[in-house]
Structure 1
Amino acid sequence: MNVLDKDNLQPYHNSEKYDYIQENYKADLPLILDYAQRIKPDHIIELACGTGRLTIPVAREGYDMTGVDLHQGMLDRAKEKAEAVGLQVDWIQQDCTKLSLQRSASLIFMTGNSFQHFLTNDMQDQLLLSVKQHLHADGYFIFNTRNPLLHDLADVDEYTGSYTDSSGRRVVEENREVYDPITQVQDCLQVRRTFDGETEVETEEISIRIRFTFPLELERMLKQHGYDVEEVYGGWDHEPLRKESIELVVVARRKKADEREA
């Protein structure tokens, strides 16, 4: 399909639980702020902003912010958090492949590997076109995506993790991931078991599909849609891209309207 599949948003239905798990991750914030300081944007848009994990700290630095997400529950949680600290942010529920915002920006960013939710070539194309229509000439689009390391994707991956939730209960997550090299899409199934002491009190199954895109594929795609690729980092610490890098952090810049391909 040509728009984001709302059935692929299952991990985000419980915004408070998502917030508890993700809120303290801030490895991506310094690079976003670094580019904001360089660009000095009049306005910044975060796509797939979720519960405002980055939108709010960027706004706290004095930037005029808009946060966009497909999931209204995540936006409601983000608005609640922003209002609690006295920040004014525009929270807008839209599909990122069909943006129709009242304002454009000098900087648009999308983190959390959200680019991988765009499962087909058409969806990726529509996203890049939609973003470009809301970028000023010479504006920046920064996003990340997992690096498709074939030795990791070749086999079915099964692993288990655990954490303590906000109620003090132990949560065990059993994961199974299967990659299709033809579609470049990975099907991920997670069984989440919650324990009160030794008693299992809740079981939840969560599934999601994510698309992997190779570095040269990304570069060609961006150039085709009128972007210059200024940097592709191997992580949020500005480290160079290496063959063993687990993610790609892309800094793309919209070409000026009067520029022509050489």
Structure 2
Amino acid sequence: MTRNIFEENMEKYADPEMYDHLYEGYQKDLAMIVEWAKSSQTIIELACGTGRLTIPLAKRGFQMIGVDLHKGMLERAKQKASEHKVSIEFLLQDCTKLTLPVKSSLIFMTGNSFQHFLTNEVQDALLQSVRQHLVEDGIFIFDTRNPLLHELAAVDEYEQTYSDKNGDQIMEYHRDEYEAMTQILHCHTDRYIYQSEALIAKEQDGISLRNSYPLEMERMLTGNGFEIVQVYGDWDKNELNEKSGSLVYVCRVSK
């Protein structure tokens, strides 16, 4: 049985409210999802997190199912959906082993969540699981980072400062190391939390992210029963090139 080791790779999502504080305002991916959405069918979001996209789509009148493997993120999503007075079915499931009550004409997964599937076997299991829950000619939209060699060639160390949801000052020290044989980027963070310039807490976390190259993606998608309708270099639909930071795929179930 294929094991999704993402279950052991979720330190970054320990604080769903902080996740919202940092990312809830990002909406660049929403326009393309709306463009492909059909109001007559249930839409499925995988790795929906705290409902960053699920909720605004539901507010537009679409019938939504949100799926995630992280219980805390889903509880936050349910709370927010209630506050926004929208009805969404949130399900705690492994995306590589979906057992959903419907098939859809549109499934999507954004936020580079594809990178959490770290092995060939798990990537294939995800795509097969998605395909089984799409109707004929159904569409799967997702993104992943475009591996840029100059960014992966050396250990990357950098600092980041920001304010958290309580107004405390956060200083983060990041160290990213790329493992070429597995194509996995291991990201480590040391976090220092200051209140009125006094250090009040120290934290550490990490995450591992798989990098997949365009030709590798093409073979993987076609091998798992998809045809690529379009691939972009970002959510603004700019043409993919060697400097693009993202790979944004629109795929259709092949006949």
| Contact 2:39/2:61 (8 A) holds in 1 | no
2:65 alignment partner in structure 1: 66
The answer to which of 197-206 and 129-138 deviates more is 197-206
| Contact 2:225/2:253 (8 A) holds in 1 | yes
Q: Cα distance, 1:168 vs. partner? A: 1.2
1:204 alignment partner in structure 2: 203
Distance 1:92 1:131 in 2: 15
Cα 1:252–1:41 change in 2 (3 A) is: farther
Q: Secondary structure at the match of 1:103?
A: coil
1:160 alignment partner in structure 2: 159
The TM-score normalised by the length of structure 2 is 0.97
Cα 1:172–1:254 change in 2 (3 A) is: same
1:245 alignment partner in structure 2: 244
Using the aligned pairs only, state the percent identity.
Answer: 49
1:21 alignment partner in structure 2: 22
Distance 1:172 1:41 in 2: 47
Q: Cα distance, 1:2 vs. partner? A: 2.3
Listed one character per residue, the Cα deviations across residues 46-81 of structure 1 (whole Å, up to 9, x for unaligned) are 000000000000111111000000001100100010
2:33 alignment partner in structure 1: 32
| Contact 2:141/2:248 (8 A) holds in 1 | yes
1:171 alignment partner in structure 2: 170
> Counterpart of 1:250 in structure 2: which amino acid?
Y
1:233 alignment partner in structure 2: 232
Distance 1:54 1:202 in 2: 32
Distance 1:189 1:197 in 2: 26
| Contact 2:170/2:191 (8 A) holds in 1 | yes
Distance 1:142 1:208 in 2: 23
Distance 1:40 1:21 in 2: 30
> Counterpart of 2:77 in structure 1: which amino acid?
A
Q: Cα distance, 1:40 vs. partner? A: 4.8
1:259 alignment partner in structure 2: none
| Contact 1:193/1:203 (8 A) holds in 2 | yes
Q: Secondary structure at the match of 1:241?
A: coil
> Counterpart of 2:30 in structure 1: which amino acid?
L
Are 2:248 and 1:254 equivalent residues in the alignment?
no
| Contact 2:227/2:254 (8 A) holds in 1 | yes
| Contact 1:157/1:178 (8 A) holds in 2 | yes
Q: Cα distance, 1:5 vs. partner? A: 3.1
> Counterpart of 1:16 in structure 2: which amino acid?
E
Listed one character per residue, the Cα deviations across residues 28-56 of structure 1 (whole Å, up to 9, x for unaligned) are 111111121xx555110000000000000
Distance 2:115 2:201 in 1: 29
| Contact 2:6/2:118 (8 A) holds in 1 | no
The TM-score normalised by the length of structure 1 is 0.95
Q: Cα distance, 1:151 vs. partner? A: 1.0
Distance 1:242 1:172 in 2: 34
Alignment of 1:114-133 (within 5 A): 114-133=113-132
Structure 2 gap segments, 5+ residues each: none
Listed one character per residue, the Cα deviations across residues 181-205 of structure 1 (whole Å, up to 9, x for unaligned) are 1100010001111101211111110
The answer to which of 119-128 and 247-256 deviates more is 247-256
Distance 1:31 1:158 in 2: 33
Distance 1:7 1:192 in 2: 20
| Contact 1:4/1:95 (8 A) holds in 2 | no
1:45 alignment partner in structure 2: 44
| Contact 1:50/1:69 (8 A) holds in 2 | yes
2:13 alignment partner in structure 1: 12
Distance 1:41 1:98 in 2: 26
> Counterpart of 2:220 in structure 1: which amino acid?
M
What do you get for the CA RMSD once the two structures are aligned? Answer: 1.0
Number of aligned pairs? 254
Distance 2:158 2:35 in 1: 35
> Counterpart of 2:12 in structure 1: which amino acid?
P
Distance 2:99 2:117 in 1: 18
